[in-house]
Amino acid sequence: VGLAQGALARSETPAGESALGNLIADAQRVATNAQISFMNPGGIRADLDSGEVTWGELFAIQPFANDLVSMDLSGAQIKT
């Protein structure tokens, strides 16, 4: 389905972010035309190696029947 110029890991920084988690959240944000997106790091089950990317590899990363959900929230609601 694509080509990864470099490997993307799910290992988290002290802030709880990862390169792969950020990519997934960005993809979800673009797919839903949202301003922000949240990604549960526990849902990322594998790293992405560099090179050819297959559907099977993507399914190994997120092996769930996840649904994308869009909603309108205020900043206060997000903070809460």
User: What domains are defined for the chain?
Assistant: 2-79 (3.90.780.10)
Q: Which amino acid is at 13?
A: T
Structure tokens belonging to residue 21: 């988690």
Mean pLDDT of the 28-47 span: 93
Quote the pLDDT of residue 65. 85
CB 29 within 8 Å of CB 36: yes
The residue ranking higher by pLDDT, 65 or 30, is 30
Mean pLDDT of the 2-18 span: 94
Q: Model confidence at 39, in pLDDT bands (50, 70, 90)?
A: confident
Residue 27 has pLDDT above 90, yes or no: yes
The residue ranking higher by pLDDT, 25 or 65, is 25
CA dihedral (29, 20, 67, 1) positive or negative = positive
CA dihedral (58, 60, 66, 72) positive or negative = negative
